[in-house]
Chain A
């Protein structure tokens, strides 16, 4: 029998902490004053402040979704969290200008190196605000905008105000309301018509402080015929107390645009990761969420696409690894709202030790539409006898003109496979790791090159010690 003994070698990469002095601190707990403080520090326009205060009201009224989600949510204490911590509101344009204590964090995580190698632009967020933000000069000449949320709303209101809070309304859920009240940081991106970014833009989110909540807000608008790949990574040091990360990410793909959004989530095991992500896809556009969840204590994240224009296409590819003490509650939502739209969801999860992975899906096709298609596949792999997996899809189809297929399977690595490879001289652990890699391989291939190499290594290491 396989004994659960997972060790987390690779996951230690982000587990360090330098003491930092913050100049701006909204204190502990949530109140109207905290929201006003954040808004004042950011020197926001009146309408943004009103938006925040209304959202706070909504947040207080909404109930925790514990009637369907895990009871672990009740362990979040909103009164002990710090909602805003920063050293200043304007990010530096060169790494030299970044304060030393913050710079050494990002250097240790390898961000400046990655930027030189393959990125078109980087934003590095440290707790509440971005410490560094830079995009290649030729892109700004083409009219690409890549700024933080505060700057985006202040400097380019005519571009961003139109879609801000429109894809995900404040009242969507309790955590989107919380984010709308205290959001800070994140990326606001606009890609002009016809501009195709060859290299990805990247955001890196770092939580450094204890008892902290990070609430970044991202809005990406890809204008007609443009293309963009956006990647986000994240880490936090391991604290005894829990940390909250609750982002809102809105994507708008206008006619014929393509957006690819890649997430590699590697929070430490004390982070509640409760994220709302949704895209609006117009005519003939394509939105692709590539989502990899390895870290956090509890992740609840269901990237969605509202297929609003004819022939729009939405896709979610997701990999989740749940180890001891982790619950990866992920999934996808596909709302078909125009003719000839199609969507594809492929989800693979691996539960190790006492880890639990959950898939929740939603597919909607109303009767007045023609020729919509959906394909959903979710496969779960269970490694140890205590591992757990759940699947809860919800499919609504009306009308005679659609086709939907959903398939899910749960299995373990078969003893025959392991035995076969052991006969060929592989150790049991190597054999297990090879099986798991084979299981997720066809999905990993869809990731951008640089990430897929890194991911394979991550999974190798995550698996190490879980057998034998």
Chain B
């Protein structure tokens, strides 16, 4: 999976004008809309002021761990995700963005105006738009619901390198798809940074089941921006498991655009050492009769830190909204830290919206019970934490996969 091409070291930082101009020259063959997009994004990137970086959307976040200034190498487009597809149906498009841009760039061009989640990581967003050279593209045509399952394996770049990917998932009306994305690379090689921007377009009545497992190298950086657009009566169940990387910034936004749509977002973080997980979410209700549910659970050991910021936004038109948001944190050590910023912005009155956030230690009685049965402390802790996370693992339809994730969580307790 390792990119076999050697990338030439260059002394130009990716934030410098020269670097961008070099990049543009190399990509001059690209269609006009893409050249324009890159140029426009680069201009916008330069206009980001220091002040923008200090606003509420970065509250509690140690900004020094989320920069790009140290990078001078962008991995080239050979670093593509790998696919494993359950169906050979030729109508289904499933390919790398690199290939799509070479063969039929037009099918990507309709995404030029697609917005990111816009929850604070403007620099990452503009950098991805400026420099992306690969990613994955999936399109499931109308009415295809043959238990379609696609697995996507991502690859993180080598140390001091950064990868920018844009991914596109389109489900046409009444299509169904299960997509499993994994980021699990060799701890000793893939220490670079991966920045992902993913768009999900979910058509009328379509169903998406998405599972993401991030267990990348302990020295890597991970940025994941994702935007879900849900049309009438569609549904999304999104399960995200975060175990790896030294620092992760995750932005997830669900836009409930049309009546009857349902967005469920479940995620957990299991962190130890000095890991940092900065997770920002938004459930944006733009239409009536939609529902959304968000559950975020974090288990934090050692000096790890998790920030959860979630917003439920209900527009005046979105009457009869049912929106929930829950954040639960378990702290297992003195230095572990959990920051919660659950938020509500409600502009419609006929709604039911609640959020809850709790933070505490392990239940001491449960722990004592296990210890008194002769179970070692670390094992007892991992058992209780697995039980705590089961509420989320439960949402994974594939039992083998769920078992694999449980094993990964257990390794955090050794």
Contact = CB atoms under 8 A, between A and B. Distances in A.
The answer to whether A and B come from one shared complex is yes
B350 interface: yes
B361 interface: yes
A400 B332 CA distance: 5
B59 interface: yes
Given A68-B56, A393-B341, A406 B319 contact: no
A409 B354 contact: yes
B59 A386 contact: no
Contact of B343 (A383, A388, A392): A392
Contact-size category for A: 35 or more
B340 A393 contact: yes
A364 to B, nearest CB: 10
A265 interface: no
A391 B323 CA distance: 14
B360 A367 contact: no
A391 B333 CA distance: 30
A406 B347 CA distance: 22
B373 interface: no
Contacts of B51: 67
What bracket does the count of chain B residues touching chain A fall in?
A: 35 or more
A389 B352 contact: no
Given A397-B359, A402-B359, A385 B331 contact: no
A165 B120 CA distance: 36
A423 interface: no
B334 A399 contact: yes
A385 B348 contact: yes
Interface string A367-386: 11000000000001011111
Contacts of A383: 349
B329 interface: yes
A303 to B, nearest CB: 20
B366 interface: no
Interface string B95-137: 0000000000000000000000000000000000000000000
Contacts of B360: 402-404
Contacts of B349: 382-387, 412
Contacts of B359: 395, 397, 402-404
B377 to A, nearest CB: 13
B324 to A, nearest CB: 10
A34 B72 CA distance: 57
19 contacts: A367-B335, A385-B319, A389-B344, A389-B346, A390-B344, A390-B346, A391-B342, A391-B355, A394-B341, A399-B331, A399-B334, A399-B336, A400-B331, A400-B333, A402-B360, A403-B360, A404-B358, A406-B340, A407-B356
Given A398-B331, A404-B357, 9 more contacts: A385-B348, A393-B342, A394-B340, A396-B337, A400-B334, A406-B356, A407-B357, A408-B356, A410-B352
Interface of A: 67-68, 367-368, 380, 382-412
